[in-house]
Amino acid sequence: MKTLKHDIAIIGGSMGGTAAAIASAGHDVIFVAEHDWIGGQMTSQGVSALDEHKYIEQFGGTDSYNEMCRRIRQYYVDNRSAPETMPDGTPLNPGNAWVSRLCFEPKVGLQVLQEMMPKSVSMLIGYDAVSAEVDDDIVQAVIVENNEGEQIRIEAKIFLDATDTGEVLPLTDTAYITGAESYEYTLEPQAPPEERPTEVQSFTYCFAIEYHPGEDHTIEKSDNYETMRDEQPYSFVLYDKEGNSRPFRVFEHYEPQGLKPFWTYRRLNDGDILDGIDLALINWHGNDYYGGNILDVPREEKEQYLNEAKQLAIGFLYWLQTEAPRDDGGFGYPGFKWRKDVFGTEDGLSRDPYIREARRIKGLTRIVETDISAHNQVHARSANFYDSVGVGLYALDLHPCVGNKTVSMYAPTKPFQIPLRALIPETTKNLIAACKNIGTTHLTNGAYRLHPIEWNIGESALHLAQYCIENDTSIHGVANNMHDCVRLQYQMVKHGIPIVWAIDVPQSHPLFVPTQMLLVLDVLTKEGDRIDQLEIEPDKPLGNDVNIDQINDAFIQLVGEKWQAVNADHTWAQVCEQVAPILEEQFG
């Protein structure tokens, strides 16, 4: 068996794994992906309508994530004669969909990711992890295998598990959790009374359709269509947690509740903007599969569930073409043409199912509902993590689950952070979680699984690995040493990764770096105004908004008498200007 040796091994072609590889320029990294459609949920899994947040064009994405989005938009400007902005002046959205500010064809996203991949990365395409060698909680090697049975042994100083389902965790005896934890274990208000390890969120095979009114593109009906239609059920009506109905229409708004159309939910190509062709991604309750858990089951059982999920998706398409209630009172839209070429697969479905929930490490910390839920946070931001390595914002969003299809949750959060310790397993010494397999719970996973957040996790995991190798330390050593932790944060912030929310001081602002490093100290007081807003207002005096003694004490410890004490009359900008050279001297 051939052995490959590298400093860092990224195992898995997920969005987090791809972000990690892109961030690794100039370092000795091998990137192992299941197939050549790298990018996970935004490409091979079909969800190229990015699940973001309302601040994303202003704040909340890393520099490399923002660059990816910029390149996608530029592709449409350069190659599809798209306008640079939408009619309202916002950045181009090729699909003009209401779920996202950037919807595009997955092949375009794939091309951009491939163009962003550094030449220094060694890529191994078409391989899955099948076993590992572990000694004293240190992963010595991971063995990967392709479809022909060829195996390759990969040695590395640090491994990143960037598989969408946390496949490396059981292979390396890394402690992990699946499904829903009990209230006794997490103390989360909405956790069930008992643990439910198989209650995992549904996964989805996505597909794309184009609308040709007046034409008939109806597919063949499957043998078990009626069963799937009735048990799912196939419907445009969704229900909230209280059981209230939300009846969507296909092309029209449902005015009584202000619901936008099903068709433009995840549209990838708006015909009024591009080519005259309307192309929509179908990722809806109708093709969410919750009939079986694919984690920790025999291969045959997993394949059965995957095949059932594919049949469910195809059946939903047939229902859309034949039985779906029309806006005009009829039934079925035979003009919905299945665009199998969108994913380049023989069956016309996404290459991989869209995975919402994976195995999750038992990390050095666990992010729980009360850390981020808007109901539990009285100020503008969620709980501050001193070791933050990123930010995110999305609801606690749970789809129907295996064994509990009635579960539904969409609870708001406050802008939150990604703690470093949630990426680090309790005991495994050289493995980092690099996508949706971090130390969340069943509930908080629903907020941390989205595109810009998973990208941030992967990028941050790579920076942690690089830091450890360059400074001859361990991942647990960084987590347990404040100087190392702050130095890592400083380097990450300088690379354009925000770690605290400050929407008026983005990466392009000259005070971005010192602002981030000050805020992570948790210096905002509960008595002032700044804690109740996401703006920092750099030119405003500190007043009683900021714990001035905490700032003075922190920097006296760094530079002693050289520090010129600040007071309430100083502005945030003045403090940052004094702090910036000290940070560079100490941590640069």
Token output for 331:
């039934």
Distance of CA 518 to the CA centre of its chain: 26
Helix axis angle for 451-470 and 63-79, nearest 10°, is 130
Residue 53 reports pLDDT greater than 90: yes
DSSP string spanning 390-445?
A: EEE---EEE--BTTBTT--EEE-B--EEEEGGGGSBSS-SSEEE-STTSSB-HHHH
DSSP string spanning 258-317?
A: TBPPSTTTSEEE-TTTTTT--EEEE-SGGGEE-S---SSS-HHHHHHHHHHHHHHHHHHH
Residue 99 reports pLDDT greater than 90: yes
Phi, psi of 326 (to 5 degrees): -85, 155
User: 462-475 as b/e, with b when 16 or more CB fall inside 10 Å?
Assistant: bbbbbbbbeeeebb
**Whole-number Cα distances in Å, 330 to 238, 334, 357:** 20, 12, 38
For residues 204 and 111, give the distance between their C-alpha atoms in angstroms, rounded to a whole number: 23
Token output for 215:
């034409």
- What pLDDT digit, counting tens, does each position of 260-301 carry? 999 999 999 999 999 889 999 999 999 999 999 999 999 999
Cβ atoms 33, 27 nearer than 8 A:
no
For residues 48 and 60, give the distance between their C-alpha atoms in angstroms, rounded to a whole number: 19
Cβ atoms 13, 162 nearer than 8 A:
yes
Cβ atoms 24, 466 nearer than 8 A:
yes
The structural domains of the chain, with segments of one domain joined by +, span 2-175+388-490, 203-342, 502-587
Residue 404 reports pLDDT greater than 90: no
Q: What are the start-end ranges of the H helices in 49-129? A: 63-79, 106-116
pLDDT at 20: 98
- What pLDDT digit, counting tens, does each position of 3-22 carry? 999 999 999 999 999 999 99
pLDDT at 405: 84
For residues 295 and 489, give the distance between their C-alpha atoms in angstroms, rounded to a whole number: 34
pLDDT band at 156 (very low <50, low <70, confident <90, very high): very high
pTM above 0.95, yes or no: yes
Q: What sign results for the dihedral spanned by CA atoms 268, 272, 277, 283?
A: positive
At 63, which amino acid appears?
D
DSSP string spanning 359-376?
A: -EE-BSS-B-HHHHBGGG
Specify the DSSP class assigned to residue 351: S
- From the list 384, 512, 383, 369, the residue with the least C-alpha distance to 441 is 369
Token output for 40:
């996970």
pLDDT at 430: 98
pLDDT at 77: 97
Pairing label, strands 360-361, 176-177: antiparallel
Residue 406 reports pLDDT greater than 90: no
Domain 2-175+388-490 belongs to what architecture?
Answer: 3-Layer(bba) Sandwich (3.50)
- From the list 493, 532, 247, 288, the residue with the least C-alpha distance to 391 is 493
pLDDT at 562: 87
Average pLDDT (132-158) is 98
With the CA atoms of 117, 275, 51 and 87 taken in that order, what torsion angle do they form, in degrees rounded to the nearest 10?
110
Mean pLDDT, rounded, of the chain: 96
